[in-house]
Amino acid sequence: MQLTNIQKLTGQIELLSGLHIGSGNTEIHIGGTDNPVITNPITQQPYIPGSSIKGKMRSLLEWQLGVVGHTDGQPLSFKHLKKLDNKVLDKAKSLIKLFGGAPDGDLAQALLAEIGPSRLAFWDCALDKNWVTEMDKKNLLLTEVKTENTIDRIKGTAENPRNTERVPATAKFDFNLTIRVHNNEDLTDTLLVGLKLLEYTGLGGSGSRGYGKIKFLDLKLDGEDFQSRLERLKLQEAS
């Protein structure tokens, strides 16, 4: 197996609804929110961790392929391949090629050699500088605080109020990832399905309440148009 190329996919992620990716901070400060977003410790600006994009995309692709029932809730890995039907085996191998997997101790060396190392590297997505400048000119903050509560079905009153910090709709983030290419393979069809699934289901928490809807913009693979391939993709045809 030979590394024959490293491709770079660039573009932007535009928020169509407010996005919340939590910071993990469990402390509540005076004047703060119950649930702050993750921010860069130097710039204090919110960002999208590459790990959040990778984890969500991988999970969605595993559900789309129909292998979750064979993995007992774990990420698809080498040890699960022997449980899979031949109809999905090749696509399952492509997923492991893209995202990686923990080799099983009894795994045949031939299979390890066939799949090789993980191909995708997801980078953290910083806020687009032009969008930040636009917000500064308007004296607007880079995040919003959304207040929510539960409704008592009998009394019709609001209870348990909570505040969640979000990056507002219209925000744009710079998106990029790299793809290691071995033996001139082409795994971009699987990557396209993952991107489309993210557009349909969103990023971050509280997606069932309307958070995190996104759209990819101006995608280019090594400087060449990739966006049109994503826009033409129909998931029914990709199954």
Query: What b/e sequence results for 12-28 when a residue is b if at least 16 CB atoms lie within 10 Å of its CB, and e otherwise?
Result: bbbbebbbbbeeeeeee
**Per-residue pLDDT in tens (0 to 9) along the chain, 239 residues:** 899 999 999 999 999 999 999 866 544 443 445 689 999 999 999 999 999 999 999 999 999 999 988 888 888 888 888 888 888 899 999 999 999 887 766 656 777 788 888 999 999 999 999 999 999 999 999 999 988 777 877 877 777 778 889 999 999 999 999 999 999 999 999 999 999 999 999 999 888 888 999 999 999 999 999 999 999 998 776 55
Residues ≥6 apart with Cβ < 8 Å to 68: 62
Q: CB under 8 Å, gap of 24 or more: what pairs does 110-117 form? A: 111/78, 111/81, 112/78, 113/1, 115/78, 116/1, 116/182, 117/180
CB atoms within 10 A of CB 58: 20
CA distance 101 to 75: 8
Classify burial at 239, counting beta carbons within 10 Å of its beta carbon; exposed 0-12, middle 13-18, buried 19 or more.
Answer: exposed
CA distance 129 to 133: 6
The closest alpha carbon to 56, from 19, 85, 91, 104, belongs to 19
Q: Residue 93 in contact with residue 81, Cβ under 8 Å?
A: yes
CA distance 90 to 98: 13
- Which sign does the torsion angle of CA 27, 28, 33, 35 carry? positive
- The pTM (predicted TM-score) of the whole model is 0.88
pLDDT score, position 25: 54
DSSP string over 59-108: HHHHHHHT-HHHHTTSPP-GGGGGGS-HHHHHHHHHHHHHH--PPPTT--
pLDDT score, position 27: 47
CB atoms within 10 A of CB 49: 15
CA distance 56 to 194: 9
Give residue 5's identity as a one-letter amino acid code. N
